[in-house]
Homo-oligomer: A and B are copies of this chain.
């Protein structure tokens, strides 16, 4: 992967722009990566959210309309979409969510032609990885961290081949320890998935959202269980937390 993809990612974020309207929590979490350029939203952009249950958030899969609250689910993707549609009204964006509960990277790959390439996103946001690890704990999946890395790179390579101008946003898989499903048994193994996502984002010139840090910082304001019901899925407060972090990647 050459570095030329970085050219797609717009101009640098200024300190002044960062200072405006950034809630404390998100600011604390995002600040260390604020040097990354923001993705500029332009007229008629198609924005696609992809991922697992965290992205899915109970969306109505029969509804294929863009910008529809039911089609966008009840999670961070819908909340981010609402704000984008409000702020960028004149740009006539088309926003889709095609997250599916339980998905791992190879399952995105299996449905990628219909659920990504055919949609021709200008901006593609992917959050995937927690199931690539979690499902190994129950013995239902034997993928390793190397499989995750290989699958993820393969997915992005085919994406870029089909959509050479797509702007990528990669979310860090996260797991909030000591909340129901997530225990010490997850660590340090799960941390490798987080590191892999960051590494791949960097490699492909993608904007990266450090969700783990976002949740870790939020835990200083209210208990972790306030932001995530089971350590993996968000409450409404946690969904807004993620949406605000997501929105920091664009302008």
Interface residues of A (CB under 8 A from B): 20-21, 23, 25, 57-58, 67-70, 72, 74-75, 78-79, 81-83, 85-87, 89-90, 92, 218, 221-222, 226-227, 235-237, 239-241, 243-244
Q: 25 A-B contacts, Cβ less than 8 Å apart?
A: A20-B21, A25-B86, A57-B69, A67-B235, A68-B236, A69-B75, A69-B236, A70-B74, A74-B78, A79-B82, A81-B236, A82-B236, A82-B237, A82-B239, A82-B240, A82-B243, A83-B240, A85-B236, A85-B240, A86-B237, A89-B221, A89-B226, A89-B227, A89-B237, A90-B221
- Could you say which of B75, B78, B79, B218 contacts A89, with CB atoms under 8 Å apart? B218
A237 touches B67 (CB 8 A): yes
Closest-CB distance, A36 to chain B (whole angstroms): 21
A87 to B218, CA, bound (A): 10
Q: A68-B236, A86-B244, A89-B237 are in contact. List 12 more A-B contacts (CB 8 A).
A: A20-B20, A20-B21, A58-B70, A69-B239, A74-B78, A79-B82, A81-B236, A82-B236, A85-B236, A85-B240, A89-B218, A90-B222
Check if A222 sits within 8 Å of B89, measured CB to CB.
yes
- Determine chain A's interface SS by DSSP, over half rule: helix
Residues of chain B within 8 A of A21, CB atoms compared: 20-21
CA distance A241 to B88 in the complex (A): 12
